[in-house]
A = this chain, B = another copy of it.
């Protein structure tokens, strides 16, 4: 067999082990993470994804549903069902944007904020467990590097303030229910 001759890897040798494949590494770690956090996020509709939506709402990222969907990497049609479940669970509300009534801002309720804080603490503990193989400073490094790659400009209190303004504004004069909002077909969370 000619290929089994000289070089160990069979050919060029320029390729590293498949365990260096970034997609493999990210996928494996993410899988471990999701498995570990599954028990925590199962009490919120949509699981980890539902938590991220509520988390974004709590953080004051009150973009339109489409903007939120894009940021979280899910389809806007999926976002509709997801928000329906979250709203039904009393965790968020959909407030029409007074400036552009086509848009809807996702605003967390008190229950939503409370649940988010609770789950956030639990998740942080689980995360540390997932990152147990790393030293504390290495965990920080990993977060910083990933954060940089994710290309996120940290969300400050400004957007949060804007969100609260919307809520306050709507509390005064309630406008007529914008779209009909019928109940979707069969899309229960579990």
| Residues of A bordering B, CB below 8 Å | 1, 3-4, 8-12, 14-15, 17-34, 37, 48, 51-52, 55-56, 58-59, 61, 72-73, 110, 113-114, 116-117, 120-121, 123-124, 127, 130-131, 133-134, 138, 141-143, 145-152, 154-157, 160, 164, 167-168
Complex contacts, A8 vs chain B, CB 8 Å: 156-157, 160
Complex contacts, A160 vs chain B, CB 8 Å: 8-10
Q: Are B113 and A25 in contact (CB under 8 A)?
A: no
Q: Are B58 and A14 in contact (CB under 8 A)?
A: no
Supposing A56-B18, A73-B31 touch, asked if A23 and B37 sit within 8 A by C-beta, the answer is yes
Complex contacts, A143 vs chain B, CB 8 Å: 20, 22, 25
Supposing A20-B143, A23-B30, A24-B52 touch, asked if A151 and B123 sit within 8 A by C-beta, the answer is no
Q: Are A26 and B15 in contact (CB under 8 A)?
A: no
A55 to B149, CA, bound (A): 25
Q: Are A19 and B152 in contact (CB under 8 A)?
A: yes
Complex contacts, A34 vs chain B, CB 8 Å: 23
A157 to B3, CA, bound (A): 13
Supposing A28-B73, A164-B1 touch, asked if A147 and B22 sit within 8 A by C-beta, the answer is no
| Chain B nearest Cβ from A42, distance in angstroms | 14
Q: Are B59 and A18 in contact (CB under 8 A)?
A: yes
Of A27, A58, A116, A141, the most chain B CB neighbours within 10 A belong to A27
| Chain B nearest Cβ from A49, distance in angstroms | 9
Complex contacts, A151 vs chain B, CB 8 Å: 133
Complex contacts, A152 vs chain B, CB 8 Å: 19, 28
| Chain B nearest Cβ from A141, distance in angstroms | 6
Complex contacts, A134 vs chain B, CB 8 Å: 145, 148-149
Which one of B15, B17, B31 lies within 8 Å of A116 (CB-CB)?
A: B15
Complex contacts, A28 vs chain B, CB 8 Å: 73, 149-150, 152
